[in-house]
Amino acid sequence: MIQSKSLPLTITDLTVMKQRGEKITCLTAYDASFSAVIDKVGIDVILVGDSLGNVIQGHATTLPVTLRDLEYHTQCVAKAKQRTFVVADLPFLGYTTPVLAAKNAGKLLRAGAQMVKLEGAKIDCVKFLVDQGVPVCGHLGLQPQSINLLGGYKVQGKTEQAAQQLLAEALQLQQAGAQLLVLECVPAILAKNVSNQLEIPVIGIGAGVDCDGQVLVLYDMLNIGVGSRPRFSKDFLQDACSIEEAIAAYHQAVKQLNFPTAEHSY
Ligand code: KIV
């Protein structure tokens, strides 16, 4: 395991973990205190996700979250961590053109992110960002920024055609230079196939145990969210004596392939 507490993890370290078959752990965080605990436990990646719109701001969707919100929360997180790799979301309509994507990504990198995440097969944006030196994480499957198009938080890639399209888009993102991919709410068998076919690490949420790593929304896994906990998450605080212990239990469960189980998968 790559366990140095002082040296920040890099995307190269995460890629080596995939090659070695070591699972990558990821949690969302939005502030310095949680960032410090997550870093202390040894979680590999913090995602400053636009899920902050739901769990911090109390919105029904991620759409109201602004670039300024993401910059602010990225600064809070980045100040408190030493080792953990930090990825920040680009906001809804924050990458409608490659130039806008680069302008916004620059602000997130200056705020302390090491990589930016964007939803969908935005191949031109990914290519342009990578050309400008911005590391990119893709996000396929359920894309919460498209919730009004999708008509609900539903499992994606269920038909043969949809599964083929998702795999093709994942390969295109990798080809365009994306170095990490989040797969949300897809059948476990599809996520396994995508993870096997890609050289870059695939981080799943509601995507089964065979992804190269797992991510959960911190407030969901502590069961302190404002809404109901999604089926693919698990209350890790229930059997723990502290938040630190709950996060450590999640870390161990992912590393040892004990989470997610079939009950958290599709
Ligand atoms: O914003 C977020 O927290 C995310 C995760 C659900 C992957 O994108």
Tell me which residue has its CA closest to atom 5 in ligand 1. 49
Residue 125: the pLDDT is 98
Residue 4 domain flag: no
Residue 258 domain flag: yes
For ligand 1, whether the C-beta of 52 sits within 6 Å is no
Structural tokens at position 134: 């911005």
Residue 6: the pLDDT is 65
Q: Is 63 exposed, middle or buried (0-12, 13-18, 19+ CB in 10 A)?
A: middle
Residue 72 domain flag: yes
How many structural domains does the chain have? 1
Residue 106's CATH number: 3.20.20.60
Q: How many CB atoms lie within 10 A of CB 133?
A: 10
Residue 163 domain flag: yes
Residue 4: the pLDDT is 45
Expressed in angstroms and rounded, the spacing between residue 19 Cα and the centre of ligand 1 is 24
Residue 222 domain flag: yes
Q: Is the pLDDT of residue 76 over 50?
A: yes
Q: How confident is the model at residue 17 (pLDDT cuts 50, 70, 90)?
A: very high
Q: How confident is the model at residue 180 (pLDDT cuts 50, 70, 90)?
A: very high
Tell me which residue has its CA closest to atom 1 in ligand 1. 49
Residue 161 domain flag: yes
Residue 255 domain flag: yes
Our mutation pick for probing the ligand 1 site, out of 25, 57, 63, 182, counting the most ligand atoms within 8 A of Cβ, is 182
H helix or E strand, kind and range, residue 19: helix 11-20
Q: Is 175 exposed, middle or buried (0-12, 13-18, 19+ CB in 10 A)?
A: exposed
Q: Is the pLDDT of residue 1 over 90?
A: no
Could you tell me the residue range of the domain that residue 222 belongs to?
Answer: 11-264
Residue 238 domain flag: yes
